[in-house]
């Protein structure tokens, strides 16, 4: 079951990234957002455009995490944390990730 959840999370992240690829990729490349271990992106830059992107991406992720949790009968927080670990691991060099201590690090 865990393998199915991980595979679904990977597929989900690809779909989410594809739907918003250019905008999300630009924000990551420009250092405006970063991945967190809780499965969501967080703003580094607090301009209106970045905050709107963060809200839109995190809303889509929340819905997807809930669907995965419901299908696999596991807590939604567990799904989000698994996704967060994978997304932080997959961050590209130069992108920001939030460490365990809450500080932003460049990968």
pLDDT digits 0-9 by tens, 64-100? 999 999 999 999 999 999 999 999 999 999 999 999 8
Question: What values do phi and psi take at 102, rounded to 5?
Answer: 90, -5
Q: Report pLDDT for 96.
A: 97
Residue 27: C-alpha distances to residues 8, 18, 46, 91 (Å): 24, 14, 12, 13
pTM, two decimals, is 0.78
Q: Which residue, chain included where needed, has tokens 């967060």?
A: 84
Percent of the chain at pLDDT > 70 equals 79
Mean per-residue pLDDT over the chain, rounded: 87
């Amino acid at each position: 079951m865990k393998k199915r959840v991980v595979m679904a999370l990977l597929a989900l992240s690809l779909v989410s990234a594809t739907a918003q690829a250019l905008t999300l990729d630009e924000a990551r490349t420009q250092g405006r957002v970063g991945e967190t271990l809780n499965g969501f992106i967080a703003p580094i830059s607090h301009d209106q455009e970045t905050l709107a992107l963060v809200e839109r991406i995190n809303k889509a992720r929340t819905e997807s995490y809930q669907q995965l949790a419901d299908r696999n009968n596991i807590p939604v927080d567990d799904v989000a944390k698994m996704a967060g670990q994978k997304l932080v691991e997959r961050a590209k060099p130069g992108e920001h990730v939030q460490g365990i201590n809450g500080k932003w690090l460049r990968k």
